[in-house]
Amino acid sequence: MADPHARSTIRILHVDDDPDFVALTAEFLTHEDDRFEVLTETSATAVLDRLRDEGEEIDCVVSDYQMPGMDGLELLRAIRTQLPDQWLPFLLLTGRGSEEIAADALNAGASSYVRKGGPDTYEYVATRIHEDLQRARAEQNSARFFTLADALDDPVYVLDNEGQFTYVNDALTALVGYGRGELLGSDPSVIKDEKARAAGERHLARILSDDGPDSVTFEVEIQPKSGDPIPCEDHMGVLPYEGTDFQGSVGVLRDISERKARERALTEAKEHYRVLVEQNLIGLYITRGTELVYHNERFAELFGYPAESNVLAGESFLPLVEAADRERLEENLTGVEADHGESLREPYIGVRHGGETVNVELLARGIDLDDEPAVIGTVVDVNDDDERLWQLRRERDRLEESTSIVSHDLRGPLSVARGHVELARTGDDAASGDALSTVADALDRMDELLAELLTLAKQGEVVSDREAVDLPGVAESTWRNVATAGTTLEVTADGEIDADPGRIKAVFENLYRNSIDHTDGDVTVTVGDLDADGGARGFYVADDGPGIPADERTAVFESGYTTADDGTGFGLAIVAEIVEAHGWRIKVCEGRDGGARFEIRDREYPIRPRS
């Protein structure tokens, strides 16, 4: 069915074996509504031929019942069978009829059944045509919506004007654990508590108000059939009105459990970091240029001054490091201040009051202070071998990295999602489908980044409990998790190493994925021992792919660094975190076959023969 709203006319195809009657009907209908354009045929087969013509735009069929060769009911069944994608209203207009014929017509898919009569009949026919067109458009839009909703990975629901479920897709039933039969016809109390239902009603009232938004997004807890409540975002809108009558609402849910967990983890980390600063376990400073604007007690104490805040305020930071480091410190502080929001972490040789030197690590980030650029940072004594402080430094660094990644890497997918949601609101079906598909891709991208980010944060925790891990066994078992067609694994390693079993698996899986993702075609991956005097001191994972250029071999371990269009840049960063958490060392070099070779060495726990 073509959209008559896109044209100024409504094209009606009328078929009757009486040429005089079709001419009379055309005259009366065009008199009733000057938007009607009545096309006529005298046989059912001619109607089918015209409907099969893709260039012909027909909005409605009006047919006689008794016709030679193929009657009106047979024509109706042929249209519904042979042209199922055409949402054409079909009005049966007949001089002879009965309740049985009327029932057969409606059961076969006729939109209306009208007995022929005098001139007043055509006023009724014109009214029926308008109502049937409106209903057909609503059914067509509904079918398009449900087709799209069924294809979405996000849970989708529709509530009628009484607030009862009339549609749920597979993703929603999977989320809540209820079957369709348990949800359809029920109200949201099945999956929402009183607080959540009240929130939904409150936001729906906003949409229905005269100056309300077209849709709203709010957080809600969904109660599954079993298990804990699931935090979700509910994107709610209303169904198109039929006249002035409210038809119901539609919603799309998104499980935000991982995001909420990440937010809690970041909040806890920030609170922990705040406590560290307040308890003077980390030296904190603020500078403008090279001048110290503020510092805490620990900062002064670290450089050999009385443990008081701001005893060095107004002084230059530069004399607190060796002369050879001062130019670099000045460049770094002024550079970070100028590049607002950028950060750095570098080692320096500090000079304590009285001339004693101390190795320190300095972190700096650009900020706005009283509407002017400044630098905030921390200083840690890296000579201190206390295990607790070493772990605190690692937590601080991971917090800094996590915050940077979240603010940078998720900004792109969020912008894509917002832009295509606006495009979807244009109402064009094809554009809406493409836009929603792009939104789904962008949201999936964010989910992938958040999952990788959480993994990165967890894998960096210091390994305290180790077990004997069989290298050939873990190399082969993890390969089965990632192997694809055309890939081959060769294991020459023969020993065991003390490690965290779960995290060593993540090392192999991420190194395998890196080889597979960056090689076009077949790839062979080799796992072997690193030979050294006195026995093996580590292992390597190598491939025969294109390799990694020498000038990129350090950068590949940085979070967010990737050369793949769909990569997250966290795979090798996770490997580096796990290696460091074990106290190992990793480097990348060229393999014997020209590909990439990752060498992991362990001085304290060398590889030994399997027991």
In what side-by-side order are the strands of the sheet with 523-529?
487-491, 523-529, 538-543, 596-601, 585-590
Cα of first residue to Cα of last residue in the chain, in angstroms, is 75
Rounded CA-CA distance 577/457 in Å is: 9
AA letter at 280? N
3-state class (DSSP) for residue 489: strand
- Asked if pLDDT for residue 407 goes beyond 50, the answer is no
Question: pLDDT at position 406, please?
Answer: 47
CA dihedral defined by 436, 439, 444, 446, rounded to 10 degrees? -160
Q: Is the pLDDT of residue 227 over 60?
A: yes
User: Mean pLDDT across the stretch 294-298?
Assistant: 86
Residue 318's pLDDT is 95
Superfamily of domain 4-148: Response regulator (3.40.50.2300)
Number of Cβ within 10 Å of residue 168's Cβ equals: 22
Spans of all domains in the chain:
4-148, 152-255, 264-407, 410-459, 467-601
- The whole-number average pLDDT for the span 535-559 is 80
DSSP 8-state code for residue 599: E
Per the model's pLDDT, the better-predicted residue between 127 and 84 turns out to be: 127
pLDDT band at residue 2 under the 50/70/90 scheme: very low
**Contacts for 104-108 with beta carbons within 8 Å, 24 or more apart?**
104/73, 105/72, 105/73, 105/76, 108/73, 108/76, 108/77, 108/80
Any bridge partners for residue 236, and if so which? 216, 251
Question: Which parts of 337-417 are beta strand (E)?
Answer: 343-351, 357-369, 372-381
Question: Which pLDDT band holds residue 506 (cuts at 50, 70, 90)?
Answer: confident
Amino acid at 571: G
Question: What is the average pLDDT across 345-363?
Answer: 88
SS3 54: coil
Nearest to 503 by CA among 440, 573, 582: 582
DSSP 8-class letter at 460: T
What's the CA gap between 448 and 455, in Å, rounded? Answer: 11
What residues have CB less than 8 Å from 181, skipping those under 6 apart?
Answer: none
Write down the pLDDT at residue 377. 85
Higher-pLDDT residue of 85 and 2 is 85
Give the pairing type, strands 523-529 and 36-41: unpaired
pLDDT for 429: 59
Strand pairing class (60-63; 10-15): parallel
CB 557 within 8 A of CB 575: yes
Tens-digit pLDDT profile for residues 65-107: 888 888 888 988 888 888 877 778 888 887 766 777 878 888 8
Tokens of 120: 């007043």
The overall average pLDDT reported for the chain is: 78
Tell me, what's the pLDDT at 526? 94
CATH class for the region spanning 152-255: alpha beta
Residue 456: the pLDDT is 47
**Taking 80 as the threshold, does the pLDDT of residue 598 lie above it?**
yes
Task: Decide the pairing of beta strands 90-94 and 60-63.
Answer: parallel
Q: For 478-493, how does the pLDDT look when each residue is reduced to its tens digit (9 = 90+)?
A: 898 787 788 899 999 8
Cα 461 from Cα 271, distance rounded (Å): 18
Right CATH number for 264-407 from 3.30.365.10, 3.40.50.2000, 1.20.1050.10, 3.30.450.20?
Answer: 3.30.450.20
- Mean pLDDT lowest among 215-229, 285-299, 417-431: 417-431
Residue with tokens 């009240």: 198
pLDDT-above-70 percentage for the chain: 73
Q: Which of 142-156, 331-345, 372-386, 503-517 ranks highest by mean pLDDT?
A: 503-517
Inform me whether the pLDDT recorded for 542 exceeds 90: yes
CA nearest neighbour of 239 among 166, 154, 132, 189 = 166
Range with top average pLDDT, 432-441, 531-540, 543-552: 543-552
User: Is the model's pLDDT at 56 over the cut of 80?
Assistant: no
- Report the Cα 31 to chain-centroid distance in Å: 55
553-590 pLDDT per residue, tens: 777 777 545 545 555 556 788 888 888 877 788 888 88
Domain 467-601 is in which class?
A: alpha beta
Measured over the CA atoms of residue 602, residue 605, residue 609 and residue 611, the dihedral's sign is negative
Task: Choose the most confident range, by mean pLDDT, from 182-191, 279-288, 565-574.
Answer: 182-191
CA separation, residue 76 to residues 54, 89, 181 (Å): 19, 10, 33
Say if residues 530 and 602 touch (Cβ distance below 8 Å): no
What phi, psi does 373 have (nearest 5°)? -65, 145
Most confident of the following: 221-235, 369-383, 491-505, 533-547: 221-235
∠ CA 83-87-89 to the nearest 5 degrees? 110
Q: Once rounded to an integer, what is the mean pLDDT over residues 248-254?
A: 86
Report how far residue 358's alpha carbon sits from residue 389's, in angstroms, rounded to the nearest whole number. 16
* 426 vs 327, more confident: 327
**Element (H or E) spanning 538, and its range?**
strand 538-543
Task: Answer yes or no: same fold for 264-407 and 467-601.
Answer: no
- Rounded to an integer, the average pLDDT of 6-32 is 82
Distance CA 178, CA 169 (A): 11
Tokens of 59: 């909005």
**Model confidence pLDDT, tens digit, residues 432-454:** 666 566 655 555 545 554 555 44
Q: Is the pLDDT of residue 455 over 80?
A: no
In angstroms, rounded to a whole number, what is the distance separating the alpha carbons of residues 3 and 126? 18
- Distance from C-alpha of 383 to C-alpha of 381, rounded to nearest angstrom: 5
Q: Cα(579)–Cα(587) distance, rounded to whole angstroms?
A: 10
Q: What is the percentage of the chain residues whose pLDDT exceeds 90?
A: 14
